Amino acid sequence: MRGQRCRILGVSVDVLTLEEAARRAETMLAEGGTHLVVTPNAEMLNLAGRDLDLKGILCRADLVLPDGAGVVLVGRLRGIRRLVRVPGVDFVRRLLGRGRRSVFLLGGERGVAESAAESLRAANPTLEVRGTAHGYFTAEEETSLVETIRSSRAEILLAGLGVPRQEKWLAAHLERLGVGLAVGVGGALDVFAGRAVRCPSWMGRIGLEWLYRLIREPRRAGRMLALPQFFWAALRERA
């Protein structure tokens, strides 16, 4: 059953705490079938405004978690005080830490998924990693990859293929993957693998993760233009 949602740029975002999101995911696993989880930030919602295929996928997703301070700020300005950021990295860690789970890790450069698997297993000794694969597969390899994931019988697929590729790929193959949850996790596999560093917790709490990323990766400056574009589009939508 859906709880409260906040509509931002035409996409309904779930209003849940991190713990509530993990419990909702557990309920979906218990229900059976395959469920899509997306974690949009301002950049993704801004892109969805121009990419109607992506927007449709976000609108149809079973769980839409706000992974961005900008999304939360817009929601709170609209009076949704309970809306809080639920980063994909933290969501995965909380979900996997709630009991025995099985996962398949897909994405990143060669070796990233394997390193991420080792890290996740170290944190969760009961975790079963049913398989890993890098994200640089070709279109010709897709059928074999989907069958590999299906044959693994993993409960959860973590796909870090980048936006919007991961959302479109998961949506296109959702019914054939055979997993309970298909989660688009962006760069989370690099974080789990120790190849990317998250911002200090205090910066995350006050919504400055974007600044930390910009300082560490100045080449992201162009992508940061999505933030003012997102806020302007949200203001126009509200008006």
5 within domain boundaries: no
Q: Is the dihedral of CA 152, 142, 110, 106 positive or negative?
A: negative
Place 153 in a pLDDT band, splitting at 50, 70 and 90: very high
Mean pLDDT of the 104-113 span: 97
DSSP secondary structure code for residue 161 in this structure = -
The model's pLDDT over 8-38, given as tens digits with 9 standing for 90+, comes to: 999 999 999 999 999 999 999 999 999 999 9
Mean pLDDT of the 192-203 span: 77
23 within domain boundaries: yes
217 within domain boundaries: yes
188 within domain boundaries: yes
Print the domain residue range for 37.
17-238
Give the pTM. 0.90
Strand partners, 102: 128
The pLDDT of residue 214:
59
11 within domain boundaries: no
Q: Distance between terminal CA atoms of the chain?
A: 30
**Total domain count, the chain:** 1
Q: Which of 1, 2, 10 is nearest to 234 (CA)?
A: 10
DSSP secondary structure code for residue 233 in this structure = H
Cα gap 8→237, rounded to integer Å: 8
10 within domain boundaries: no
Across the chain, what does the average pLDDT equal?
A: 91
105 within domain boundaries: yes
The CATH number of residue 36's host domain is 3.40.50.10700
